[in-house]
Amino acid sequence: MAGQSKEAPLPSWGYALAGATGAVLANAAVYPLDIVKTKLQVQVKRERKNTEKSLENGDVSKCDEEEEGEIYTSALDAIQKIIAKSGVNGLYTGMVGSLIGVASTNFAYFYWYTLVRNFYLSKSTAGAPSTAIELSLGAVAGALAQLFTIPVAVVTTRQQTRPYSAKPLGLFATAQEVISEDGVSGLWRGLKASLVLVVNPAITYGCYQRLKQILFNGRDRLSPGEAFLLGALSKSLATLATQPLIVAKVGLQSAPPPGRKAYKSFGEVMKVIVEKEGTLGLFKGIGPQLVKGLLVQGVLMMSKERMELIFILLFRWSKKMRAERLAKVASALPLVVKS
């Protein structure tokens, strides 16, 4: 109880700012992997029997047209084709919007996570939260964060999956395009899938807290290497558990290729993928997704730990300076009264 009543080293916004800063640094460092995994996840390969039938009928041009710029056999193949079509800059398409989304999503997530976790600790007498409680707290924080930040994710996914032949659009122009097609509600396309996917950060940070307890006895401050290890391990576990949901969400938010209507629901995406590619199609892009997640979460948690320490020192310095100013004002008050 005494530990629970102790004043937090930082206010909620301080932890949120530290988390957002770490997330932006981490995602900027590995952004090309984000493009690659999105391209791999959004493609829907043609059924094998249809491909063979087209080849038997000599309709090679149709096969070429369907595959051009759309089908990637691997992460390396995707990188090569993107550079061939759009140059190196193609690997950074939509980066500004993505980083804005990353910053806002992580700020919102860490803000709400800190609030709900501190609220729980202030009311609970059971000591450290169990794994189930940690997952629940993370899910609540993730759901609140998604409600406010999903429009940026929708716009960024549209930018990343825009056909090579189409004119590139900026963040606001892409948002206007989405609104012109689906109305303002189009900016919240895939919200249900995103709300389901709050289990990803919930699993990530739930695992992080539990592994921190198990491996490092719940120590408040971790070294950069320890924070990287915990972040990478926790994100890898969360990604493996939720990859089918990630693939379905990307399919919902992407711009449909010519000749195909946009998906209407979470279930429709998964059904089409399974029909055309089998169950393993729900795990496409898992390679770059895992590598990206491992690096991003590792760097994020490593950066977050350092940024939290910096902010704590700044916060304490600020409080000390404010206290000294108040003390000076208070000491001068009797002189003012006498005069």
Q: How close are the terminal C-alpha atoms of the chain, in Å? A: 49
User: Rounded CA gap, 58 and 246, in Å?
Assistant: 37
Provide the domain limits for residue 230: 14-40+70-307
Average model confidence (pLDDT) across the chain? 77
Residues 6+ apart with CB under 8 A from 248: 193, 266, 269, 270, 273, 282
User: Rounded CA gap, 103 and 16, in Å?
Assistant: 10
Contact between 172 and 155 (Cβ < 8 Å): no
The answer as to whether 50 is a domain residue is no
User: Rounded CA gap, 37 and 250, in Å?
Assistant: 10
Which amino acid makes up residue 89?
N
User: Rounded CA gap, 304 and 110, in Å?
Assistant: 11
Q: pLDDT digits over 36-59, tens only?
A: 888 888 776 655 444 444 434 544
Tokens of 71: 């089908």
User: Rounded CA gap, 139 and 143, in Å?
Assistant: 6
Give pTM, 2 decimals. Answer: 0.57
Residue 66: the pLDDT is: 41
User: Rounded CA gap, 114 and 134, in Å?
Assistant: 12
The answer as to whether 75 is a domain residue is yes
HSE, CB side, 13 Å, CA atoms: give it for residue 99: 15
- With CA atoms as reference, report the closest residue to 142 among 102, 108, 114, 97: 108
Residue 55: the pLDDT is: 38
The answer as to whether 334 is a domain residue is no
DSSP secondary structure letter of residue 235: H
The answer as to whether 295 is a domain residue is yes
The answer as to whether 144 is a domain residue is yes
- The CATH number that applies at residue 237 is 1.50.40.10
- How many domains would you assign to the chain? 1
Angle at the Cα of 85 (from 263 to 151), degrees rounded to 5? 35
The answer as to whether 85 is a domain residue is yes
Blockwise average pLDDT, block size 10, the chain, 339 residues: 49 80 84 86 60 46 43 86 88 86 84 85 78 79 82 85 78 88 84 77 79 82 82 84 83 70 78 86 84 77 75 81 81 57
The answer as to whether 248 is a domain residue is yes
The answer as to whether 318 is a domain residue is no
